[in-house]
Amino acid sequence: MQTEAEIELAAFGLRARHIIALTLLRDLGKQNQSDLPATLGMDPTNVVVLLNELEADDLVQRRRSPQDRRRHTVSLTAAGRARLSEIEDLLTGVEQRVLDPLTPAEQHALYALLVRATSSATCAEALDATRACTEA
């Protein structure tokens, strides 16, 4: 499924990390740029490159914080919101095509297993360790 999704995303000139950042900004709203590396689990330099790419396509907007002119806030633009919606529709189609050979009961079982696997303490610990590594 990942390979098929990556092929589809290439048509938009985006990769999974772009979609994750756009989704985060949609779901959490405006964010301080300095907080994004820990939230995304990425090196700060890579976050700057990521934001530059998204801003060049008018998908996000960076502004100086009115409270602290040294800080920048990052928000999703209307174009970013529309593009994310298009991509989510596209990825839903990819998911349906990939899972089509499974019965509805098998699909439900797969989702239940994935939820259980990703909510384990091991996954949470791995995420915390990743964040700790990026903050050091």
Please classify residue 55 by burial: count the beta carbons closer than 10 Å to its beta carbon, then call 0-12 exposed, 13-18 middle and 19+ buried.
Answer: middle
Q: Which of 79, 67, 58 is nearest to 32 (CA)?
A: 67
User: Rounded to whole angstroms, what are the CA distances from 33 to 39, 101, 124?
Assistant: 10, 42, 23
Is 122 or 7 the better-scoring residue by pLDDT?
A: 7
Q: What is the mean pLDDT of the chain?
A: 86
pLDDT digits (tens, 9 = 90+) for 63-115: 998 888 888 999 999 999 999 999 999 999 999 999 999 999 999 999 899 88
Burial class (CB in 10 A: 0-12, 13-18, 19+), 18: buried
| Whether the Cβ atoms of residue 25 and residue 76 lie closer than 8 Å to each other | yes
Judged against a pLDDT cut of 90, whether residue 6 lies above it is answered with: no
Domain 2-101 top-level CATH class? mainly alpha
Tokens coding 110: 């797969």
Q: Which pairs with CB-CB distance under 8 Å and at least 24 residues apart come from 64-71?
A: 65/32, 71/32, 71/33, 71/34
Q: What is the pLDDT of residue 118?
A: 81
pLDDT at 135 over 70: no
Residues 49-61 have a mean pLDDT of: 97
Q: What residue segments make up the domains of the chain, in order of their start? A: 2-101, 102-136
Contact 6/16 with Cβ under 8 angstroms?
A: yes
Mean pLDDT, range 4-31, rounded to an integer: 90
